[in-house]
Amino acid sequence: MGREQRTPDGQLLNRSRLPADVVGVIALVHIHKTAGTTLAGVFKRSFGGRHLDVLEIDRSTPHLTPDELRRIMDRFYPRLNSINAHPVRAYSGLEEVVPDIEYVSFLRNPIERTASHYQYDFQVGGVNIPFEEWVTHDSVPDRQTRILAGPNASGEDAIALLPRFSFIGRSDAFDESLVLMQRKLAIPDIRYRSKWVAPSNDIKQRLLGDPESLELLASVNREDQKLWDHFAAEVYPKQVVGFGPGLDEAVTEFRQQNSKMNAFRVYGNRNYLAYVLKWRLRYRPWVRKVTGDPTAG
């Protein structure tokens, strides 16, 4: 696990005020339906034009490669603070480009995550097939394990890779996890506004309340369940202890501050605007040009 960034007198550093080569780069390994999009918004507001949402360049590679990251940083983001995308992987060797890269991810109870994933695909993704068919697709089983540790990984493989991460949060304890992550990684502003909130949870609740659906959900999450059980029992509690006294009070204070967040304070934030301008006017047009895909991003 990474160490807290502190000054010689023990004060926590504000990462956004330091050169990128001093504090390294936060790399969010984004797992579907674990609040990753909301978390990416935190990084955009904190780091502005020093945050990158990675777009796919080479479709023959299943994840972001060191060569791709080096190419992007050389051309657009020499002072990068954070990156996010589904193709970011902790096993892809990005340390070749950023030796002190700090991997971050959020996990979720696998049964609930998978039910939520189907609900999202049905409500937003245009997937209009029965759950019993959807759950048989190759992309569904043990998704958290495969994203963390590789397409053929076991729960044990994913557990063995966890020490490579500087921080791993719980999506069901999102506010607390943000407070812990801020202390650990010197993120200046963790306030947020939730994104991709389901218009209704009826589908998820129906699946979680049906014994046959629960059996199917359990059958496709056996490795994820091993990972989750270990993380929830061993890893996350140590992060809580590492914070020291005052965590409950810090979370309460944060929630009071975050209650004032609205769309204007998110999207009108100058850092967020700096991120949008750089990404939309420079980076995305380049990706569309080199890939030949006018719809990329």
| pLDDT digits 0-9 by tens, 34-58 | 999 999 999 999 999 999 999 998 8
DSSP 19-54: -HHHH--EEEE--TTSSHHHHHHHHHHHHGGGEEE-
- Report residue 119's pLDDT band, with 50, 70 and 90 as the boundaries: very high
- Report residue 101's pLDDT band, with 50, 70 and 90 as the boundaries: very high
Q: Please determine, for residue 22, whether its predicted confidence score (pLDDT) is greater than 70.
A: no
Give the global pTM.
0.90
Q: Please determine, for residue 137, whether its predicted confidence score (pLDDT) is greater than 60.
A: yes
Q: Where are the domains of the chain?
A: 15-291
The pLDDT value given to residue 85:
86
In the block, tokens 């006294």 appear at 245
The pLDDT value given to residue 23:
54
DSSP 264-286: HHHHT-HHHHHHHHHIIIIIHHH
- Closest of 193, 195, 174, 175 to residue 268, by C-alpha: 193
pLDDT digits (tens, 9 = 90+) for 62-91: 899 999 999 999 999 999 999 998 889 999
Q: Please determine, for residue 276, whether its predicted confidence score (pLDDT) is greater than 60.
A: yes
The pLDDT value given to residue 198:
86
Query: What is the Cα–Cα distance from 94 to 102, expressed in whole angstroms?
Result: 10
pLDDT digits (tens, 9 = 90+) for 212-254: 999 999 999 999 999 999 999 999 999 999 999 999 999 999 9
Lowest mean pLDDT across 11-15, 153-157, 281-285, 287-291: 11-15
26-29 β-sheet, strand order: 51-53, 82-85, 26-29, 102-107, 165-170
Q: Please determine, for residue 1, whether its predicted confidence score (pLDDT) is greater than 60.
A: no
Q: Please determine, for residue 7, whether its predicted confidence score (pLDDT) is greater than 90.
A: no
Average pLDDT, integer, range 250-266:
94
Protein fold of 15-291: Rossmann fold (3.40.50)
Query: What is the Cα–Cα distance from 173 to 240, expressed in whole angstroms?
Result: 11
The pLDDT value given to residue 132:
96
